[in-house]
Amino acid sequence: MPFVLGRADSAFDFDALVQRLREAFPQTTTISDDYYADRVSREKAIARQQGMPVDCAPIRSTQQAALKHGTQRHLSIAISDETTLDTRIDKMGILAVGGQDTVKCRNEIQKLLDILTTFPLQIEASWDDDK
């Protein structure tokens, strides 16, 4: 699956990265301003519906991930009119994942990579359009 991963070695201004991506890709939409808070809330609602305790192991696991990552922005980055990347950004870095339609968007992916290189991130990408 095509992806771009950027790992931060130290704290960086991830909201500045979000802003830069919004400027570069103006059709970007926010799925969640706080992914883990929203996820924990949904998991607790499901647990209540199922008669499970809200402090069950799966919810505790999500809460532990939330502590590790902190606030995480969840975006749909529109890199073209037809193609979006499911993207999550937090103090630890960025993960952007696309479907097979993204392999045709080499220039747009390069634009994303060029933006990421201006932040203190170790970047790894798999966007092999030869497959």
Q: Which residues of the chain have pLDDT under 70?
A: 128-131
pLDDT at site 90: 97
pLDDT at site 106: 81
pLDDT at site 128: 62
Q: Note whether 9 and 42 are same-domain residues.
A: no
pLDDT at site 131: 45
Q: Note whether 76 and 19 are same-domain residues.
A: yes
Q: Note whether 63 and 77 are same-domain residues.
A: no
pLDDT at site 49: 96
Q: Note whether 92 and 42 are same-domain residues.
A: no
Quote the domain boundaries for residue 49. 35-70
Share of the chain above pLDDT 70, in %: 97
Q: Note whether 52 and 116 are same-domain residues.
A: no
Domain total in the chain = 2
pLDDT at site 130: 45
Contact 97, 71 (CB under 8 A): no
